[in-house]
Amino acid sequence: MFERVRSLFSSKPAGPWQPSDYRVVATEAGANVNYDCYCGCDAGIAFDRADAEQEAGSCCCGNLIQVGAGAVARLNRQLTDPAAYRIAVQSVAMPWGEQSDVALAIPEQPAP
Ligand SMILES: [Zn+2]
């Protein structure tokens, strides 16, 4: 019985961490795309649809986020050391009726 209780509380997600979902809120320029970071922050990006080379949104733990067409490529271009990150990509519904890629670069070694 105790084994069973413990297994209920120690269930960890399979595989490395990534956000379980993104919160998307429409703005005049595009959308605010936010997630609950594992470091405790409410992290994200104020995505501007008109800015093709927008800076990635960053979190204090080193995560970087990009949204929209080519999000993964743009994110990779902004990483000084791409090998130090893993990239998690999800397709997210945007307020203007499109699915957009949301790409998150997560440092393999989180900032201390
Ligand atoms: Zn964080």
Q: How many angstroms is it from 4 CA to the middle of ligand 1? A: 32
Whether the CB-CB separation of 107 and 63 falls below 8 Å is answered with yes
Q: What is the pLDDT of residue 36?
A: 97
Q: How many angstroms is it from 41 CA to the middle of ligand 1? A: 5
Q: How many angstroms is it from 3 CA to the middle of ligand 1? A: 33
C-alpha 2/C-alpha 6 separation (Å) is 6
Higher pLDDT, 8 or 47: 47
Q: What is the pLDDT of residue 57?
A: 97
- Which band of pLDDT confidence, cut at 50, 70 and 90, is reported for residue 112? low
pLDDT digits (tens, 9 = 90+) for 28-85: 999 999 999 999 999 999 999 999 899 999 999 999 999 999 999 999 999 999 999 9
